[in-house]
Amino acid sequence: MKKLFNWPNLLTFFRILLTPLFLYFLFGNQPYFEIFALLIFIIASVTDIYDGYIARKYASVTKLGKFLDPLADKILMSAAFISFVILDLVPLWMVILVILRDFIVTGIRILMNSRHLTMETRKSAKTKTGVQVGVVCFILAYLITQRWEIFLGISDYIRLIEEYRIIYILMLITTIITIWTGVEYILVNKDKIQQALKK
């Protein structure tokens, strides 16, 4: 029970709980709510960095943590991208590919952990996560500028974002990177995946 409620797992639970709060503020349509949504997303992303760091530093890695940590990340990120589809900011097909890749890889990791197999990861996975977080923050910041008159002074820059379809391009890049890292993950670990499937 003590291991269950260690700090890394508590941070992971906290990140999961932040997801509905993030959605509440994103769709709340009240003053300051978009800013709160951005701050909540940033806080949740920071906890993702620290729970893994704390778990490794203090040797408090648990089976529950291995299961929940990647799942919590995917829940938060999927909620953000699906919200952007609802808000008509990004195409549905891109989000489907991103979510499908993330949950397939998460499923493979869970399978590997259940078979006591260690999977090889690449630095590209961290790049993918960084790109996704950056794009979500960019889109949230764009939403803030759309709903606040105080940002009228930068309307020319906002017009450039819309004219050159910057959000579409960033989401396309995110989708390509996400799919590639998923393919790379499977190729690098194909032998262990086959081994796990045979058990």
The mean pLDDT value of the chain amounts to: 84
- What pLDDT band is residue 118 in, cutting at 50, 70 and 90? confident
Task: Tell me, yes or no, whether 135 lies in a domain.
Answer: yes
Task: Tell me, yes or no, whether 2 lies in a domain.
Answer: no
Q: Number of C-alpha atoms within 13 angstroms, CB side, residue 158?
A: 15
Task: Tell me, yes or no, whether 48 lies in a domain.
Answer: yes
Lowest mean pLDDT segment, chosen from 38-52, 66-80, 140-154: 140-154
Look up the pTM and report it: 0.88
State how far the alpha carbon of 199 is from the alpha carbons of 23, 110, 111, 187, 188, in Å.
40, 14, 11, 19, 19
Gap between the Cα atoms of 129 and 180, Å rounded: 13
Give yes or no for a contact between 89 and 144, defined as CB atoms under 8 angstroms apart.
Answer: no
Task: Tell me, yes or no, whether 37 lies in a domain.
Answer: yes
Instruction: Identify the CATH number of the domain in which residue 39 sits.
Output: 1.20.120
Task: Tell me, yes or no, whether 83 lies in a domain.
Answer: yes
Domain that holds residue 50: 7-198
Report the amino acid identity of residue 73: D
Task: Tell me, yes or no, whether 1 lies in a domain.
Answer: no
Written as one string, the DSSP assignment of 2-31 is TTTTSHHHHHHHHHHHHHHHHHHHHSS-ST
Task: Report pLDDT for 17.
Answer: 92
- Which has the higher per-residue pLDDT, 60 or 176? 176
User: What total number of domains does the chain contain?
Assistant: 1
Task: Report pLDDT for 1.
Answer: 46
- What pLDDT band is residue 2 in, cutting at 50, 70 and 90? very low
